[in-house]
Amino acid sequence: MQDSGSSPEIGQVVLITKGRDQGQLGIIVELIDDRFVKIADGDKRKVDRMKKKNMNHLELVDYIADEVKSSFVETGRVTNGKLRYALTNFLEHHSDLLKEGE
């Protein structure tokens, strides 16, 4: 029933579209249910203070940070440094994915 193109995955980069963090990027670090996920960026929003977000308030970016996803597969957790690295890497090499919607 779920459209595979729009279902969130751990390690996926998201653009926050509503709330105080609007316009900022985060990475999905936990899937709660169909409507909610937890995100962090390793900087302002650390892993130990993940933000629960409604999927309606996020825009999924067509990019999965492999290092974050593999970290969860291997250890079940991710470090703030790895999240920061993944977001920096994304911005340096894939920022064109953000400009599509403009």
Nearest to 25 by CA among 17, 33, 35, 37: 17
Q: What is the CATH number of the domain that holds 58?
A: 2.30.30.140
User: Do the domain assignments include residue 1?
Assistant: no
Q: Tell me how far the alpha carbon of residue 61 is from its chain's centroid.
A: 8
Instruction: Report the pLDDT value the prediction gives residue 5, as an integer from 0 to 100.
Output: 53
Instruction: Report the pLDDT value the prediction gives residue 21, as an integer from 0 to 100.
Output: 93
Instruction: Report the pLDDT value the prediction gives residue 4, as an integer from 0 to 100.
Output: 44
Q: Are 20 and 40 in contact (CB under 8 A)?
A: no
Range(s) of the domain holding residue 75: 12-94
Q: Where would I find the beta strands (DSSP E) of 1-102? A: 12-16, 25-31, 36-40, 51-54, 58-64
Record the pTM.
0.89
Q: How many domains does the chain have?
A: 1
Instruction: Report the pLDDT value the prediction gives residue 13, as an integer from 0 to 100.
Output: 96
User: Do the domain assignments include residue 5?
Assistant: no
Taking the chain (102 residues) in consecutive chunks of 10 residues, what is each chunk's mean pLDDT? 65 96 96 96 96 96 94 94 96 80 46
User: Do the domain assignments include residue 16?
Assistant: yes
User: Do the domain assignments include residue 4?
Assistant: no
| Alpha carbon distance 31, 37 (integer Å) | 5
